[in-house]
Amino acid sequence: MNKIEHIDFTKMDVSDYVESLEHTSFTSRELYNACQLFKQMNEDENCTIILTIAGSTQAAGCLQLYRDLVKLNMVDIIVATGASIIDMDLYEALGYHHYEGTTKVDDDELRQKGIDRIYDTYIYEEDLKKVDQYVCDIATQYSEGSIMSSREFLNLLGKHTPNSLVNECYEAGVPIFCPALNDSAAGFGLLKHRIEEEYYCIIDSIADLKELTELKIKAKDTGLFMVGGGVPKNFAQDIVVAAEMLGTEVPLHKYAVQITVADVRDGACSSSTLDEACSWGKVSNQQTQMVYAEASHILPIIANYVYVNSLPRPAQKLNELIGS
């Protein structure tokens, strides 16, 4: 099987293509507007950019893209699903691979061969179990039976795992939160750790909410760049409301871009459209853009356009501000 090859958005220039979309319609104009908004976020000296990641874009070829966004200071905070940062990124950091597959397959046969399918991508179940064990080992060796936010645990994981998204975040001082960390290989690893150890690590998701809210209070102006929806999207939006519980009124998120294929007609759209989020007191609807498209082919275009057409941003190193 062929390995999935990850896209390097720094080795292209889609500027002419994006500029040609300005006066088009449908998803093309949505893409153009999203490029301009993410560019504005990067050029706004007072804006802290929160990237949220849900779905399986790392498995599809965007793994390097997220690491480069951190390395190039194009995002300041990450909120992600456990699957995206553990089952996919950490999985490859440990030397395992995603492979080109097909949807036209007998899944019972794949199960017998120990192959897990992510749409048209394959991974080996035994390799994923080794990720479970790796997380267990890190918790056993370094957590010292602590109560930790997911950010603290992922920072610990990043310190000891080179060539990974969590390591890029550790090196760059970028806080990375996973409020549903147990919904991943990390959950299995920490469960094993808990069963085997007398003093075990406990992940406190409410500490995540407090830490991220405190960052919003310090940052004031924030922009959301959201891939998919679900828990990461809603968690990042909720900090505007949570600030009130900490006795502070903060501005709504100033910018927001969401890339999604979710439908709006069931009242969800991965936790509401951005305009709808305005009614909840979370997002200003003055500078928002929904992009209704599958993210794996949209992300490299937006990232490249902003990379080529914006000056480098300084690192905010927000990890250093937590608790200060």
Q: Tell me which residues are annotated as active site.
A: 282
CA 64 to each of CA 7, 182, 320: distance values in angstroms, whole numbers, following the listed order: 7, 24, 25
Q: Rounded distance, CA 19 to CA 295, Å?
A: 19
Q: Which of 198, 146, 61, 168 is nearest to 157 (CA)?
A: 168
Q: Within 10 Å of residue 115's Cβ, how many Cβ atoms?
A: 18
Q: Rounded distance, CA 207 to CA 242, Å?
A: 12
Q: Rounded distance, CA 124 to CA 98, Å?
A: 8
* Burial grade of 233 (CB within 10 A; 0-12, 13-18, 19 or more): buried
Strand partners of residue 171: none
DSSP 3-state of 199: coil
Q: Rounded distance, CA 210 to CA 231, Å?
A: 16
Q: Rounded distance, CA 174 to CA 70, Å?
A: 7
Positive or negative torsion for Cα 56, 235, 175, 183:
negative
Q: Rounded distance, CA 101 to CA 122, Å?
A: 6
Q: Which of 201, 235, 257, 239 is nearest to 74 (CA)?
A: 257
DSSP 3-state of 280: coil
Strand partners of residue 118: 121
In the block, which residue shows the tokens 């060796």? 141
In the block, which residue shows the tokens 């502070």? 248
